[in-house]
């Protein structure tokens, strides 16, 4: 087997286990210094989920809480967080929450550490750094943001922009399954599917940096996610299932951080940006339609067929790649139904006439579309949205 040249970057420190969000506070404080900017959202504050960590951190220094992060965080929110960080002369940043809080924390740490122009940092490898010390603590098992070099922010009314740079990988990721126990079933389902999409797209990515390490991580992620997602949704208090989901999402994050995602994400962004549908659900809604579109490409079919038995061991893999990949996609669709997620765009109140604008907007996601196994035109995107409607 001929190996291509590739790079692989990931979060250098990772701590996993129940209670780790409190038990690693001394280590966090040593990394972050005396004045910590703690970025989260109001829901987590009201649930009291942040209390043990904040109280423990306060034994070693001051903690300034910024809890204004919303779903699909805006540039205004990011700039407000940075302003607070400047006022307190922050020595380090914590992102505590879902992907939104972690995304704001990443770029806050970058701008506070470097004072660089945010507009010049957008895109791939444009950030200059340095950043402030950074710790990320996920409370959902989905984005894998704690191990990815990517931050997505909503600019203006609808457009999403991203910074992709190994500079914004955190110093430390804390994975504590207890923090995910209170997640509603619908959120558990949509974020879990999001993690599976990361693994599937990372494995099949046509990016030149697709590599053996990412493929191995994607497979292990899908084993854990496929075996645990139904249990985590049906019995949210099952710590073992929650832990498996958290590790699975992290492994998928490591995979796609180095072998980037593609058209599922590109077509999901306009759904979230325009109609404020959660990122995980946006991915779930277009997933089967994008994968079926991709199976015209023989290599994509082979990749999906290779992944199929890791998620659905009952699939007969002896009937040819096209048939196996088709069954794999059907079963992913069935899984989404079983988890109680909406199946069609119209079920989340997206009008059919919006498909044309979403297709145009999806074409702006060039950094993602280039990684798709099959080229996607605006007409293709429109057909996919109409099929999903």
Q: Does 344 map to a domain?
A: yes
Number of domains making up the chain: 2
DSSP 49: T
Q: What is the CATH number of the domain that holds 150?
A: 3.40.50.1970
Residues 28 and 47 in one domain: yes
What is the C-alpha to C-alpha distance for residues 210 and 291, in angstroms, rounded to an integer? 18
Query: Given 136, 154, 179, which residue is the final one in a domain?
Result: 179
Q: Does 8 map to a domain?
A: no
Residues 347 and 234 in one domain: yes
Q: What is the largest CA-CA distance in the chain?
A: 63
Classify 339 as helix, strand or coil. Answer: coil
The residues with which 13 forms a beta bridge, in sequence order, are: 172
Q: Does 1 map to a domain?
A: no
Could you tell me the two tokens for 43? Answer: 């829901």
Q: Does 5 map to a domain?
A: no
Residues 52 and 39 in one domain: yes
Q: Does 357 map to a domain?
A: yes
What is the C-alpha to C-alpha distance for residues 105 and 94, in angstroms, rounded to an integer? 6
Per DSSP bridges, beta strands 92-97 and 134-138 are parallel
Residues 258 and 228 in one domain: yes
Q: Does 359 map to a domain?
A: yes
Question: Containing domain of residue 278, as a range?
Answer: 183-388
Residues 39 and 159 in one domain: yes
Q: Does 303 map to a domain?
A: yes
- The phi and psi torsions of 35 (rounded to 5 degrees) equal -125, 100
Q: Does 145 map to a domain?
A: yes
Query: Given 135, 151, 179, which residue is the final one in a domain?
Result: 179
Query: Given 160, 179, 198, which residue is the final one in a domain?
Result: 179
Sheet containing strand 134-138, strands side by side: 13-16, 172-175, 134-138, 92-97, 35-39, 62-66
Residues 79 and 192 in one domain: no
pLDDT per position in the chain (389 positions), as tens?
A: 568 899 999 999 999 999 999 999 999 999 999 999 999 999 999 999 999 999 999 999 999 999 999 988 999 999 999 999 999 999 999 999 999 999 999 999 999 999 999 999 999 899 999 999 999 999 999 999 999 999 999 998 778 889 999 999 999 999 999 999 989 999 999 999 999 999 999 999 999 999 999 999 999 999 999 999 999 999 999 999 999 999 999 999 999 999 999 999 999 999 998 999 999 999 999 999 999 999 998 999 999 999 999 999 999 999 999 999 999 999 999 999 999 999 999 999 999 999 999 999 999 999 899 999 999 999 999 999 999 99
**DSSP secondary structure, 243-263, as one string:** HHHHHHHHHHHHHHHHS---H
- Residue 8: closest CA among 206, 174, 147: 147
Residues 113 and 244 in one domain: no
């Amino acid at each position: 087997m001929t190996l291509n040249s590739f790079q692989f970057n990931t979060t250098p420190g990772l701590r996993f286990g129940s209670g780790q969000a409190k038990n690693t506070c001394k280590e966090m404080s040593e990394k972050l210094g005396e004045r910590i900017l703690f970025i989260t959202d109001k829901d987590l504050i009201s649930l009291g989920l942040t209390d043990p960590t904040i109280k423990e951190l306060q034994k070693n220094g001051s903690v300034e809480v910024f809890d204004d992060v919303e779903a699909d965080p805006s540039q205004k929110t990011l700039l407000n967080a940075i302003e607070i960080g400047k006022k307190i002369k922050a020595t380090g940043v914590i992102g505590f929450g879902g992907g939104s809080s972690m995304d704001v924390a990443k770029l806050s740490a970058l701008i506070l550490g470097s004072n660089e122009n945010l507009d010049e940092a957008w895109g791939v490898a444009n950030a200059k750094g340095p950043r402030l010390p950074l710790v990320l603590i996920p409370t959902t098992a989905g984005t894998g943001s704690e191990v990815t070099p990517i931050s997505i922010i909503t600019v203006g009314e609808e457009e999403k922009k991203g910074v992709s740079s190994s500079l914004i990988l955190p110093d430390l990721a804390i994975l504590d399954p207890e923090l995910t126990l209170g997640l509603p079933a619908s959120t558990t389902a949509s974020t879990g599917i999001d993690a599976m999409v990361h693994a599937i797209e990372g494995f099949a990515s046509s990016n030149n940096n697709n590599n053996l390490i990412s493929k191995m991580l994607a497979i292990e992620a899908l084993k854990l996610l496929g075996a645990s997602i139904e249990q985590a949704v049906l019995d949210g208090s099952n710590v073992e299932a929650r832990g498996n989901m958290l590790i699975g999402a992290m492994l998928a994050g490591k995979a796609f951080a180095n072998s980037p995602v593609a058209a599922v994400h590109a077509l999901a962004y306009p759904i979230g940006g325009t109609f404020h549908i959660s990122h995980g659900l946006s991915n779930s809604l277009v997933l089967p339609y994008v994968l079926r579109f991709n199976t015209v490409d023989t290599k994509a079919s082979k990749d999906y067929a290779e992944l199929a038995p890791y998620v659905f061991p009952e699939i007969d893999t002896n009937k040819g790649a096209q048939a196996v990949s088709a069954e794999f996609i059907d079963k992913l669709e069935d899984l989404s139904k079983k988890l109680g997620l909406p199946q069609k765009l119209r079920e989340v109140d997206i009008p059919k006439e919006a498909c044309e604008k979403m297709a145009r907007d999806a074409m702006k996601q060039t950094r993602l579309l280039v990684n798709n196994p099959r080229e996607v035109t605006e007409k293709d995107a429109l057909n996919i949205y109409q099929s999903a409607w």
